[in-house]
Chains A and B, each alone.
Chain A
């Protein structure tokens, strides 16, 4: 009988039902033949027992395998990989060490938004026991355990953009701050490991960790982060025999470092008082990875309705799942409330307005990007002959300039055919209509239905009018952000108003420092469709929800259309469009311009995206995606070569796949 039970547990063949009957019969027989008290219960136990048996069996086998795995020499997995894939190519660090490269210039990393770890230093009752534990980064275990408490601690003060009373959340310091974002999900770790191969270590590498939720100047006000970075760079230059540092910022860190370079030369109290030659003395090169110099459209959708393409797609698959108040959580509203207290998200609103991002009927990208690339890269070469056709199909109307349009037809119609109700008029018309009693504070509840309607009636927003829109729907947020960031283009850079720190992170409103020997690199991935413009709709849901969401039903005509799920895509690295990452190096700073008076050489290094060939490669060694590019061997090699002393020319100068130079020509930016 025990056999029967066991087999039933493990075997899932067709005859299971049959055998269950057998068991029953069997037990009846048992009753007749050998009447025992136990067999009364045995029917009830049998299932439970076999479950236990099964679990026990699986556990034991698992532990046994684990034991074997642990006692195994550490090099076996590598042998296995090599056996399957053939010999591995040397990682760039090993390769370059063989070439004889060694430590030369100290390296400073500047992590971007979201990737840096944050830890708790002081909290409310609900966060007891989390002292100096990571709230952000790491395992995110607390997010699941006490989501509301977590969101509360991650939020900043609504008015000041600094700590709320009684809560202190601070950035993790040191290389551990951003080497891995979550367990196994590297950010800087691969680059660090490869640099270590040629001899880098703690004294020659520095992670400029900062609280990425704050506006840039506030990191100095609250934590003196900019002073620390300055002091650390000076220290590294001094202890490494006067060798200048190579700075490697990523994502938002690019803007942060731009801010730093202005700050450090500005006189106190607003600046660091390093004097006008500080950058020339201390910095050899700034190697921007995936830099959103001119902002990212993603941040608009993030601020406007807390969604991005990924979430919008999840919404279409499981409508109602995220929107319903499951467990009364109101996920989105909490998220929105939290992210809106972060000033830093506003640093990435598209800058330069219509001049850069395109107006109602034109955009620098025109229609040259082949959105079919996504399918193309999977089928490799076969499709190449189809490209002209695809381009023709797309040629029609991709109005990237309209960053937000309400309805697909509006997105595609010519501007003369769109009826728009002026936003400013309706703004005057009604103020604070009906305040709803939602317990969650987001500004959408302060504005009435009229205004929501007015927003939708305006229909189309360009990069210029998007600011009006955001000012309109969330005035307090934008008022706070406006004190720290600016999104325009300077007419006259010598105007004394540009000495204010709010312009420092906008490359179109600052001059680069006077450091002709410095080098600026723009390194980014290309070949991945990247969010560029959105089609929105007004939701008809209840009071306490966000009134706008991406219209995921809006699809382009053909398969290769750039409009997918309410999002127009353009070329980029999945987060930052090429336009934003490359324009400054391609045009704004190329040669001696008014933005670059000392003629700092600028280089563009593009990395064409190739997805990992198989699972063994993990996130790929040739990836061009925004974060995965940090593991791109070609990029790592470039960084290491420059750190070991090479110049941009020695690297090979520009390295361009996209049409960035063509687009740059279309942009009418006074230099």
Chain B
């Protein structure tokens, strides 16, 4: 208040006392005079002289005053800020600390838990940091600086194109482009925070440290999440390093088995590792068939994307997700117009399509798992956006009632989750018999006949640029795609990418797991095409959040923009269902943790691996631990201690407690066995998978 008064006062004084430019000049002269005749001229005289000049008509240029007051304000604010900062630093540290909720670590320490089994953390996609080891001239000065994660993303804003270039991989090989080496940041710092203040593993690490974990029994298995899994071994020996690290920790901690905690894509990465390590060289790590049984106590999968995520589809297909399409709806033109010639989407898509790892997240298991044109395991799921995130009423009861009884009435709004991409709302709702059939043969025909056409746009950016207008429209003509036909679709629109990536990943279901072809590494990350290793004492946990609407399928439209180098499809965000419908903004939602649907996260633990099945011949025990999402109640809680969303769940106290108990020696039965909120068991029953 005082400062405001003072400022006004100052302005008043200044406007009253107007100096002319003439006055200024004469002042300068006087000053010179003054310096010359310092002795002669008395101070009084001088002052009088100035006053005389003051009395002359005065016109001061306005901008001077403004600038002055600006400077004054800035100076004032700065000084005050510094003073406050100084006081803040002088205060004893304990005074200022916000009383933090004591995490589970403190409580469990009091209970007497101590570090027992070494813990390996396996980060997921996107959350791991990447740093530059060799780059083009535009990336000067960034050597060993983070390009991705950890730091502030300032470099992205400073030189966005340069960054995109460096984060891309080679389109043909899926490895480093010529002259660029970007590598994963090793160690715990690799993925403890994604951006300053945005924790990923930090909370878990801190709580584990409370009961005695430290560098020697806690390891972050950082890997380059852009590469296909086998390529991380080929390029960086990441799998060999992980193997050696686990063996070392096993020995140096008194022959205690390791508890692995993978998150998100890390889950299938670790699945790949488990197969790799027991396979003989050169393809595998040569650990021998008993390796997992000897070294691994439990695999505690957090937010596991076992069977893929639909999000990956929209990402590959049109470089957008739910959030982006919302923004598009709100402010059309922001992204689409060529601001500064950036073409954000196109460039992002171009980069993302060089990352093999995204292909690993495409839905696996085809129509058997994800549903076909007319049915899906989740059908009958009721979405209630208005209350969903806050309501604590059990969804399960609703669903049980609804699923069969109301089916007849709900036909119109029934979410056909099985149609993972439909063009236009009708295609997503109509019965399959009324739809034109999407036949993969059709693609083949078109691709041979007319896929090579006018390269009028110069250099092709994405493979869309190599498609003819005709085939782009053919794809869209009132069709719906299931997860099986989706793969054909992707092979059609991005043949090179799929050819590259499908050498590393497979998305089917194995008929006969003893077929020798399944020894190839491309099947290792697909739980439906591999057997778990022979380790009956091992335990597998599926831990994930529920209660958040999660993208499950999409309604697409042709992009109105037919300019060169643009993406021809986009999510049709104008499509909304009626109240209570699962369709919103062109996206059908199902239960999940905001990224991974319950189906993908829980199915393997609920059915595929439960008991002795052909996927789990040794009968490894599986446990489902679901955590119902509760948004943070107050700002003090930050991102919430009971959150169930995909990344925030890493700060969920209940989940942390489970992990710590297992790390300290507890078994799955001791921490309470299954803990289920969703109707995953029901969904699994509907899936007709030969076990």
Contact = CB atoms under 8 A, between A and B. Distances in A.
Give the most central of A30, A49, A199: most B CB within 10 Å. Answer: A49
B46 A56 contact: no
B140 A45 contact: no
B456 to A, nearest CB: 34
Q: How large is the interface on A (under 10, 10 to 19, 20 to 34, 35 or more residues)?
A: 35 or more
Interface in B372-392: none
Given A15-B38, A18-B46, A201-B133, A228 B75 contact: no
A13 B35 contact: yes
B455 interface: no
Contact of B16 (A29, A34, A145, A232): A34
A2 B14 contact: yes
B73 to A, nearest CB: 7
A51 B158 contact: no
Contact of B79 (A36, A52, A128, A224): A52
A34 B17 CA distance: 10
Interface in B75-99: 75-76, 78-79, 89, 93-94, 97
Interface in B209-229: 209-210, 212, 214-216
Interface stretch (A119-127, A596-604, A648-656): A119-127
Contacts of B244: 231-232, 234-235
A420 interface: no
Contacts of B14: 1-2
Interface stretch (A168-176, A242-250, A352-360, A373-381): A168-176
Given A131-B206, A235-B244, A173 B215 contact: yes
Interface residues of B, number: 71
A2 B47 contact: no
B47 A26 contact: yes
A170 B141 contact: no
Nearest to B47: A25
Interface string A1-21: 111001000000111001001
Given A14-B38, A15-B31, A132-B188, A57 B75 contact: yes
Contacts of B71: 52-53, 56-57, 60
B140 A171 contact: no
A235 B240 contact: yes
Contacts, number: 173
Given A45-B6, A202-B186, A132 B75 contact: no
B206 A223 contact: no
Contact of A54 (B44, B65, B75, B188): B75
B140 to A, nearest CB: 5
B251 A227 contact: yes
B16 A52 contact: no
Nearest to A204: B237
Contacts of A197: 134
Given A2-B13, A38-B9, A201-B181, A173 B35 contact: no
A36 B187 CA distance: 69
Contacts of A228: 216, 248, 252
Contact of A168 (B12, B76, B214): B214
B209 A53 contact: no
B612 interface: no
Nearest to B96: A129
B441 to A, nearest CB: 46
Contacts of B38: 14-15, 18
Given A2-B17, A55-B78, A145-B89, A132 B248 contact: no
A3 B19 contact: yes
Given A26-B50, A45-B10, A3 B27 contact: yes
The listed residue with most B CB atoms (<10 A of its CB), out of A18, A70, A78, is A18
A44 to B, nearest CB: 10
B639 interface: no
A238 interface: yes
A60 to B, nearest CB: 6
Contacts of A45: 6, 9-10
A193 B215 contact: no
Contacts of B448: none
A22 B50 contact: yes
A461 B215 CA distance: 43
Contacts of B189: 174, 176
A10 to B, nearest CB: 11
Contact of B72 (A22, A52, A78, A128): A52
Query: Which of B13, B43, B247 neighbours the largest number of chain A CB atoms within 10 Å of its CB?
Result: B13
B34 interface: yes
A121 B240 contact: no
B255 interface: no
A145 B14 CA distance: 44
A173 B187 contact: yes
B142 to A, nearest CB: 8
B183 interface: yes
A59 interface: yes
Contacts of B452: none
Interface string B23-65: 1100100010011001000011011101100000000000001
12 contacts: A15-B34, A21-B43, A26-B50, A39-B13, A45-B6, A49-B6, A52-B75, A170-B214, A173-B187, A197-B134, A202-B186, A235-B241
Q: Which 6 A-B pairs have the closest CB atoms?
A: A56-B75, A56-B74, A52-B75, A55-B75, A56-B71, A25-B47
Given A25-B48, A56-B72, 7 more contacts: A15-B38, A45-B6, A49-B10, A56-B75, A59-B78, A122-B209, A203-B237
